[in-house]
Structure 1
């Protein structure tokens, strides 16, 4: 397995290691019965209450679907990267797509050293209403109690837990573009060594959000989309989604202007129809508007509706965008529209579909319906042949981006609009 491209600095590792003994201001624990209730369409949910001096702000997320996977009598160890740092970190575990309750034991959170190995002294037990195990009902999700101490932004956080019983129909994220470690039979969640972890996958299981206590001025951005947002085209463990590059840009700003960056992309997802995961209209409330501390959403979804659909005009997609805008404004969330990028040369391209893409982009640019426009199309298209991606931004299939293309998307975002 190749060594991950990005690592924590020595200073950041030292600070993370200090969480084992550091005393810090943390958010109060949620009541034992404070489970977030959600349904399959994401139509209801209960937000978290911030402490007096801090608010709960999202630092990482992954949109979930029902996975074709089975787990049982083994430990799961996943690695995710935070965007902003803070105190009193909480994780959320979801059984949204499960058909029966799921029990997880020995949940721990640490900082990655390398592979499945955890940095010495950082693996901390996690409780849920004071309990060391948690049972999550079908169609539900639950937040952990705050984990004392601080976690820096850009940390490679390791979440481990033991799954005692066989579970099928796992709630999770299909294309993590990150290595998840699975153990032989037994509970290895508290171990900081990599011993016992003999299998790997590239899926995330049950974990769908991480939040931290941050100053009340700190907020988060959610990127809502399909595979182009999910990160298609990157190598495993590279952390080169366009949202990762956006996080790098924000990280260079003064501390009071930084924001959490949350990825709500699902590869293959469509805005108007169920396909891979719930349709975008159905999951928008759950995956975006109930995120802790959300201020702005960037909508970059619709190319799958065009490339796989049989529409004769842009009207259905435009109507869908209007519904997203109405939902966002009802929650006082800013909503930015991303133009749809070229796919000439991809297998499903036709001239008729290209005309619909152009109609959609013209509406996004000129209607004034969104609070702002991010012209992704202009940023990555070939100036000599605008129906296709510029060669340096094309991963090779004429739809998905190279690393340079995903970086270019991030640099098309005007940070002042966030």
Structure 2
């Protein structure tokens, strides 16, 4: 799948940050010590989830310790090693917080790096438009009270809590200066969001966007945002999947992933039912084998179960295994799902599995692969192996020809969904199951 073309969106966003300073813990949370990041106040048992992530695979990190305050994930992206070279300049990225709260923390990851990376002059503000930051919102970020941090290869680091409150839905602008050149960048290939890159120099503290003369559609190093959510927030839901979850088919800066639509639905719920929505999709990803990014099996702990405050994971992955594989049985895929379920249930995390949506007309579709998809969907619907089933297939298929997407839900390539199709997925989620 080709990378999307860049398109700059200059729409001003009416979002704000509260100015009150919250009571925050005196001990910051850092991933070097791989601290745990959630304790229970939710209505159901809640696991202690690692806020860190020093392992590139799915193994649980060592030396975990409980956190004093309950953190809930507000934003994430699944990282991989991407082709990029950065250095001597400032990176400015825009990410959207799914829930608000106080004591926001950022996580910078060098999990896929091969050399230490120094981040200097890290700042976070609220987007006005483009690379511009709303006046008075750009705040310095510290790491153990220091304004710069060196992250070894294979590790990630959480910031100190940032004073003040952010609102759910805020478009956060994270900026940092890279004093040295970095190759083999830990990041996310298809952000579907504009990242701004400066000429040489440190422009992180500037609220103006004038110093940022280059753009990209990748995210670099930043992979998590967490907040100290109120007691009414029950936790976070992680959407674990491939390109359909990652956002393929939408315009750059549109924020029309199916998880964005789900966030909007949850924002309309009563405070006691609100949840963070975390997108852990990687375009091209497979459940059983590495393809684009590590396999779903190997990245499940790091990208889903270690998220702060995780309560539920929606697994919507496997179509790339079928569309690019030569399976004659659903047993390998069923085995993969069962492994994910065991890992999640061992940590008291709920697992919902979505049926796989049609791909008739896609270049690799064959009747044999369609039969595997149908048999796997039947197993998902009837096996009772999961905590619940989301029937995404039924939500977007053509009722007259169920092997293909309904015309209005097809982005045009017969695999990925239109904006209406991604909204239909979000509408198919029974919020009470989360």
- Shorter chain as normaliser: what TM range? over 0.9
> Matches of 1:255 and 1:216 in 2, distance apart?
9
Secondary structure in 1 matching 2:289:
coil
Correspondence for 1:195: 210
Deviation at 1:192, TM superposition (A): 0.5
> Matches of 2:381 and 2:345 in 1, distance apart?
19
The reply to whether residue 208 of structure 1 matches residue 223 of structure 2 is yes
Deviation at 1:8, TM superposition (A): 4.1
Aligned pair count reads 408
**Structure 1 residues 37 and 264: alpha-carbon distance in aligned structure 2, compared to 1, 3 A threshold:** closer
The reply to whether residue 65 of structure 1 matches residue 80 of structure 2 is yes
TM-score (normalizing by structure 2): 0.92
Secondary structure in 1 matching 2:265:
helix
> Contact (CA 8 Å) 1:4, 1:237: kept in 2 or not?
no
**Structure 1 residues 39 and 407: alpha-carbon distance in aligned structure 2, compared to 1, 3 A threshold:** same
Secondary structure in 2 matching 1:355:
helix
Deviation at 1:134, TM superposition (A): 0.7
> Matches of 1:173 and 1:114 in 2, distance apart?
22
Q: How does 1:265-414 map to 2 (within 5 A)?
A: 265-414=281-430
The reply to whether residue 34 of structure 1 matches residue 33 of structure 2 is yes
> Matches of 1:151 and 1:276 in 2, distance apart?
33
Correspondence for 2:127: 112
**Structure 1 residues 48 and 238: alpha-carbon distance in aligned structure 2, compared to 1, 3 A threshold:** farther
Correspondence for 2:108: 93
The reply to whether residue 180 of structure 1 matches residue 178 of structure 2 is no
> Contact (CA 8 Å) 2:29, 2:158: kept in 1 or not?
no
TM-score (normalizing by structure 1): 0.95
Post-superposition CA distance 1:332-353 (Å, at most 9, x none):
0000010000000000000000
Deviation at 1:4, TM superposition (A): 5.3
**Structure 1 residues 28 and 215: alpha-carbon distance in aligned structure 2, compared to 1, 3 A threshold:** farther
Post-superposition CA distance 1:144-174 (Å, at most 9, x none):
0000000000000000000111100000000
Match of 2:9 among 3, 6, 13: 3
> Matches of 2:296 and 2:9 in 1, distance apart?
35
**Structure 1 residues 27 and 176: alpha-carbon distance in aligned structure 2, compared to 1, 3 A threshold:** farther
Post-superposition CA distance 1:235-279 (Å, at most 9, x none):
011100000000000000011110000000000000000000000
Deviation at 1:31, TM superposition (A): 6.0
**Structure 1 residues 154 and 48: alpha-carbon distance in aligned structure 2, compared to 1, 3 A threshold:** farther
**Structure 1 residues 29 and 79: alpha-carbon distance in aligned structure 2, compared to 1, 3 A threshold:** farther
> Matches of 1:273 and 1:223 in 2, distance apart?
19
Gaps of at least 5 residues in structure 1 are none
Post-superposition CA distance 1:341-400 (Å, at most 9, x none):
000000000000000001110010000001000000000000000000000000000000
**Structure 1 residues 258 and 27: alpha-carbon distance in aligned structure 2, compared to 1, 3 A threshold:** farther
> Contact (CA 8 Å) 2:112, 2:185: kept in 1 or not?
yes
Post-superposition CA distance 1:31-71 (Å, at most 9, x none):
675353522213123667443xx510000000000000000
> Contact (CA 8 Å) 2:82, 2:187: kept in 1 or not?
yes
Gaps of at least 5 residues in structure 2 are 1-6, 35-51
Deviation at 1:101, TM superposition (A): 0.7
Correspondence for 2:37: none
> Contact (CA 8 Å) 1:211, 1:292: kept in 2 or not?
yes
> Matches of 1:241 and 1:208 in 2, distance apart?
17
Correspondence for 2:39: none
**Structure 1 residues 303 and 48: alpha-carbon distance in aligned structure 2, compared to 1, 3 A threshold:** farther
Q: How does 1:216-295 map to 2 (within 5 A)?
A: 216-218=231-233, 219-295=235-311
> Contact (CA 8 Å) 1:343, 1:389: kept in 2 or not?
yes
Alignment root-mean-square deviation, CA: 1.4
The reply to whether residue 77 of structure 1 matches residue 89 of structure 2 is no
> Contact (CA 8 Å) 2:232, 2:274: kept in 1 or not?
no
Secondary structure in 2 matching 1:55:
coil
Correspondence for 1:124: 139
The reply to whether residue 25 of structure 1 matches residue 23 of structure 2 is yes
Deviation at 1:132, TM superposition (A): 0.5
